[in-house]
Amino acid sequence: MADKQQNYSADQIQVLKGLEPVRKRPGMYIGTTDVRGLHHLIWEVLDNAIDEAMAGHCDRIMVVINEDGSATVADNGRGIPVDKHKVTGVSALETVLTVLHAGGKFGGDESGYKVSGGLHGVGVSVVNALSKRILAEVRRDGKVHSQEYKMGVAQGEIEVTGETKSTGTAITFWPDPKVFETIVFDAQTILTRLRQQAYLTKGVTICFEDRRPGAHEGVVAGDASFKYQFYFEGGVKSYVDHLNLNKEPICDVIYIEHEVPEAKIEIALQYSQSYNENVITFANNIHTLEGGMHLTGFKSALTRSLNNYARNKGFLKEKDLNMTNEDVREGLTAVISVKLADPQFEGQTKSKLGNPEIRSAVEAVFNEKLSEYLEENPNEGKIIVGKGMLASRARLASRAARDTVLRKGALEGMTLPGKLADCTTRDPGKSEIYIVEGDSAGGSAKQGRDRYTQAILPLRGKILNVEQARLDRMLGNNEIKALIIALGTGIGETFDIARLRYNRIVIMTDADVDGAHIRTLLLTLFFRYFKPLIEAGYVYIAQPPLYKISKGKTSEYAFTDEAKENILKDWGVEVKTEEETAVEDEEDEAAEEAAEDAATETGEKEDKEKKVVKQRVSIQRYKGHGEMNPDQLWETTMDPERRTMLKVSIADAELADSVFDTLMGSEVLPRRKFIQTHAKKVKNLDI
Ligand code: 0RA
């Protein structure tokens, strides 16, 4: 379809006007125009396909990043209707694509729930407005119907472009580079989302393919594309299995699915040997990071039914105190998913469910079903109550132990740790602390820093994994103790953000696997015990360069592989493999010697000068900060004028906390993955 019209018709002007606010203020509709906002476009189209699946009309969804970097979301649903509406004279397809918030009016609604985002459920028209081009293909009534849009404006009528026996909708879009800071999609971000959506929409197969050339080459010889497929028969039950993959469960997964007038409620939970809780909540498939009414209802029902059960069965004697909320959540992994007609999202990041009726609905349903389960499964009941009662005793004992530690002043600001190189200013607003991996990097950082504002705390080796330790044991770990004392806030019940000594806390670990692991452990520590510091935006990750590229006296730093390639290209250097470079080096040296010989023999000065100008490019890869000298570390990573740092968000820290191990640990390397679970067994097939 070519550019048919140069002049806009009245209809098109209408559409332009309708979508104009979106192009003027994209942030109002998709939050940001950075890489997050870019992915928002995919979530938006995906939500529509998921809606079609939840209404029972579709069991297969495919997300493809095409060779040219555009994205396609396709489903095998009914296909968006293409015939013109009697009254408006416009097809449902065109309405969905050009009218803000139109999606809902057409949603399949047989289940009695119009389950659509609310948070990011702004509609496909927003995607249309922010794409330089969209191609919509609908398979319906034996035909393939196609229509193209540019910046939100239809480039003609719907055309029949083929015949088909299947039905479904496929939307391909090219994000507008004038709107977004970047238009490069990230496969890992998409995979994480698709996996989550697959858990929440059980029985639906979600496929992903990255067809960009070279994006993932070298891992599977001769196959540069990247394919994944998710299918979870068990829904949120499979999700809990997944979250507990690296833990030791002590009971089966308890699964509850129930529908009441207010909502559809799905809950899965399991206890493990771990001491920490990991409860993840969703409302209408949106991750409610800040929790909300569904979580509140769940918590009170859990405490109430476990205490009731423990009393009725005589585990808790008359003299015993009840288990607290914290006690019954020790070692708990749970996923709570509610679907409701009119979700109210509140909170700082609009990710807290506010509907009060959901609290009582979840509380009543969960209380009844859990009590039933415990009655029917006395063995499991005994294990679960045993875990809670143990936590309760440990809490009392550990409080006593910790009180002793605290009384001894181990955590008070009196004695700052010896290895902390503190800054001279006492103004937290001006102070920064760099948490550095290893003594040698610590040395460079201490010499390179600005002593007035920058403090350095080197950590030796790996800090204790807080996932596996209770607070009292953590306080016995010297590395953690040093960090807590340096921060000045105290920890646990004594935490007080007002006593924080630095308003910037910078994690600076090496660019290798160990560094990534230490960074994860630190993020987990901050997430579990210093959440307010993350929420206040005080925690950062330093961004050191990966390479130093030098030629003669000039040198540049590259912070990514892409930047390295660009610098080399700018310098007119062909990128070669190491072997080729080695061979060339030898040839060069031979030629150089020959040239020098010739120069001395014939006295031709000119030739020699040419040789001197042709200098070799050296690429130095930094594996650790210890390899950088203090000046280099200062100018690349620590100088507030020149450095870039990543601010850690709760979402980053939560990701580190809950999915890092399972997701990054085992599943990134194999490039083709078909992941499916069935009710009783978890199967991971490598193809
Ligand atoms: C309204 C009505 C019908 C289908 C859809 C919307 C629909 C929308 C999307 C968006 C992405 N995929 C979709 N699939 C279907 C069909 C009504 C009917 O056929 O009776």
Q: Mutation test of ligand 1: which of 80, 95, 135, 197 has the most ligand atoms closer than 8 Å to its C-beta?
A: 80
Q: Mutation test of ligand 1: which of 43, 44, 52, 115 has the most ligand atoms closer than 8 Å to its C-beta?
A: 52
Is residue 446 classed exposed, middle or buried when 0-12, 13-18 and 19+ CB atoms within 10 A define those classes? buried
Q: What is the mean pLDDT of residues 302-312?
A: 97
For residues 603 and 628, which has the higher predicted lDDT (pLDDT)? 628
The pLDDT of residue 429? 94
The β-bridge relationship of strands 672-677 and 682-686 is antiparallel
Give the range with max mean pLDDT: 82-96, 274-288, 290-304, 410-424: 290-304
* Residue in 510, 654, 657, 661 annotated catalytic: 510
Give the closest residue to 568 by CA, choosing from 580, 553, 551: 551
DSSP 186-203: -HHHHHHHHHHHHHHSTT
**Per DSSP, what are the bridge partners of residue 674?**
229, 685
Provide the CB-side half-sphere exposure for 657 (13 A, CA).
23
Q: What is the mean pLDDT of residues 245-273?
A: 94
Has 514 been annotated as catalytic?
A: yes
Phi-psi label, residue 291: left if phi above 0, alpha if psi -120 to 50, beta otherwise: left
Ligand 1 mean position, distance from CA 518 (Å): 47
Q: Is the pLDDT of residue 121 over 60?
A: no
Q: How many helices (H) and strands (E) does the chain have?
A: 23, 26
| Residue 121, ligand 1, Cβ within 6 A | no
Q: What is the DSSP letter of 573?
A: P
The pLDDT of residue 76? 97
| Residue 532, ligand 1, Cβ within 6 A | no
Q: Is the pLDDT of residue 110 over 50?
A: no
For residues 461 and 157, which has the higher predicted lDDT (pLDDT)? 157
Provide the CB-side half-sphere exposure for 677 (13 A, CA).
20
CA angle at 290 for the pair 287 and 293, rounded to the nearest 5°: 90
Express each pLDDT in 425-483 by its tens digit: 999 999 999 999 888 888 999 999 999 999 999 988 666 565 556 666 777 778 888 89
Q: At 511, list the tokens.
A: 């660019």
Is-contact 343 355, C-beta < 8 A?
yes
Q: Is the pLDDT of residue 598 over 80?
A: no
Q: Share the mean pLDDT of the chain.
A: 82
Q: What is the mean pLDDT of residues 565-570?
A: 87
- The residues, ordered by sequence, that sit 6+ positions from 13 with a Cβ below 8 Å of its Cβ are none
Q: How confident is the model at residue 625 (pLDDT cuts 50, 70, 90)?
A: confident
| Residue 49, ligand 1, Cβ within 6 A | yes
Cβ atoms within 10 A of the Cβ of 629, count? 11
* Residue in 109, 159, 427, 512 annotated catalytic: 512
Give the range with max mean pLDDT: 358-367, 544-553, 606-615: 358-367
Ligand 1 mean position, distance from CA 103 (Å): 9
Has 83 been annotated as catalytic?
A: no
Q: Is the pLDDT of residue 600 over 50?
A: no
The pLDDT of residue 575? 54
Phi-psi label, residue 655: left if phi above 0, alpha if psi -120 to 50, beta otherwise: alpha
- The residues, ordered by sequence, that sit 6+ positions from 177 with a Cβ below 8 Å of its Cβ are 132, 183
For residues 515 and 219, which has the higher predicted lDDT (pLDDT)? 515
The pLDDT of residue 645? 86
- The residue whose CA has the least distance to atom 8 of ligand 1 is 80
What domains does the chain contain, in order, with CATH numbers? 20-230 (3.30.565.10), 236-398 (3.30.230.10), 408-544+643-681 (3.40.50.670)
* CA distance linking residue 163 with residue 147, whole number of Å: 15
Q: Mutation test of ligand 1: which of 42, 43, 48, 82 has the most ligand atoms closer than 8 Å to its C-beta?
A: 48
Has 437 been annotated as catalytic?
A: yes
CA angle at 73 for the pair 72 and 76, rounded to the nearest 5°: 130
Q: Mutation test of ligand 1: which of 78, 106, 171 has the most ligand atoms closer than 8 Å to its C-beta?
A: 78
Phi-psi label, residue 556: left if phi above 0, alpha if psi -120 to 50, beta otherwise: beta
Has 512 been annotated as catalytic?
A: yes
The pLDDT of residue 225? 65
Q: What is the mean pLDDT of residues 535-540?
A: 91
Q: How confident is the model at residue 131 (pLDDT cuts 50, 70, 90)?
A: very high
| Residue 104, ligand 1, Cβ within 6 A | no
Give the range with max mean pLDDT: 4-8, 456-460, 513-517: 456-460
Q: How confident is the model at residue 10 (pLDDT cuts 50, 70, 90)?
A: low
For residues 432 and 667, which has the higher predicted lDDT (pLDDT)? 432
Q: Is the pLDDT of residue 674 over 70?
A: no
Express each pLDDT in 204-242 by its tens digit: 999 999 999 866 554 444 455 678 889 988 889 999 998
| Residue 55, ligand 1, Cβ within 6 A | no
Express each pLDDT in 52-77 by its tens digit: 998 899 999 999 999 999 999 999 99
Ligand 1 mean position, distance from CA 47 (Å): 12
φ/ψ of residue 145, rounded to 5? -110, 135
User: Order of strands, edge to edge, in the sheet holding 504-508?
Assistant: 454-459, 432-437, 504-508, 539-542, 645-647
Give the range with max mean pLDDT: 15-29, 378-392, 623-637: 378-392
The pLDDT of residue 524? 81
The pLDDT of residue 495? 85
Q: Is the pLDDT of residue 565 over 90?
A: no
Q: How confident is the model at residue 545 (pLDDT cuts 50, 70, 90)?
A: confident
SS3 of residue 72 by DSSP: strand
Q: How confident is the model at residue 656 (pLDDT cuts 50, 70, 90)?
A: low
Q: At 528, list the tokens.
A: 């579990």
* CA distance linking residue 446 with residue 496, whole number of Å: 28
Q: What is the mean pLDDT of residues 41-48?
A: 94
**Per DSSP, what are the bridge partners of residue 352?**
346
Give the closest residue to 289 by CA, choosing from 664, 660, 658: 658
The pLDDT of residue 11? 66
- The residue whose CA has the least distance to atom 5 of ligand 1 is 80
Residue pointed to by tokens 């059980």:
202
Give this prediction's pTM.
Answer: 0.65
Is-contact 115 94, C-beta < 8 A?
no
Ligand 1 mean position, distance from CA 78 (Å): 5
Is-contact 109 116, C-beta < 8 A?
no
**DSSP run (H or E) holding 150:** strand 143-150
Q: Is the pLDDT of residue 684 over 80?
A: no
Q: At 465, list the tokens.
A: 């994994």
* Residue in 11, 380, 514, 588 annotated catalytic: 514
φ/ψ of residue 437, rounded to 5? -85, 115
Is-contact 85 29, C-beta < 8 A?
no
Q: How confident is the model at residue 274 (pLDDT cuts 50, 70, 90)?
A: confident
Percent of the chain predicted with pLDDT > 70: 77
DSSP 214-245: TTTTTSSTT---EEEEEEETTTHHHHHHHHTT
Q: How confident is the model at residue 303 (pLDDT cuts 50, 70, 90)?
A: very high
CA angle at 459 for the pair 528 and 455, rounded to the nearest 5°: 95
DSSP 450-514: -TTTEEEEEE-SPPP-GGG--HHHHTT-HHHHHHHHHH-S--GGG--GGG-S-SEEEEE--SSHH
- The residue whose CA has the least distance to atom 20 of ligand 1 is 78
Q: Is the pLDDT of residue 24 over 50?
A: yes
User: Order of strands, edge to edge, in the sheet holding 254-260?
Assistant: 254-260, 263-271, 332-340, 278-283, 286-287
Q: Is the pLDDT of residue 14 over 80?
A: no
* CA distance linking residue 278 with residue 243, whole number of Å: 9
**Per DSSP, what are the bridge partners of residue 265?**
258, 338
The β-bridge relationship of strands 278-283 and 286-287 is antiparallel
* Residue in 266, 437, 472, 661 annotated catalytic: 437
Q: At 660, list the tokens.
A: 């890092």
Express each pLDDT in 313-331 by its tens digit: 999 999 999 999 999 999 9
Q: What is the mean pLDDT of residues 282-295?
A: 93
- The residues, ordered by sequence, that sit 6+ positions from 249 with a Cβ below 8 Å of its Cβ are 270, 271, 272, 273
| Residue 658, ligand 1, Cβ within 6 A | no
Q: Which of 5-9, 39-43, 238-242, 501-505 has the lowest mean pLDDT?
A: 5-9
Is-contact 316 393, C-beta < 8 A?
no
| Residue 60, ligand 1, Cβ within 6 A | no
Phi-psi label, residue 385: left if phi above 0, alpha if psi -120 to 50, beta otherwise: alpha
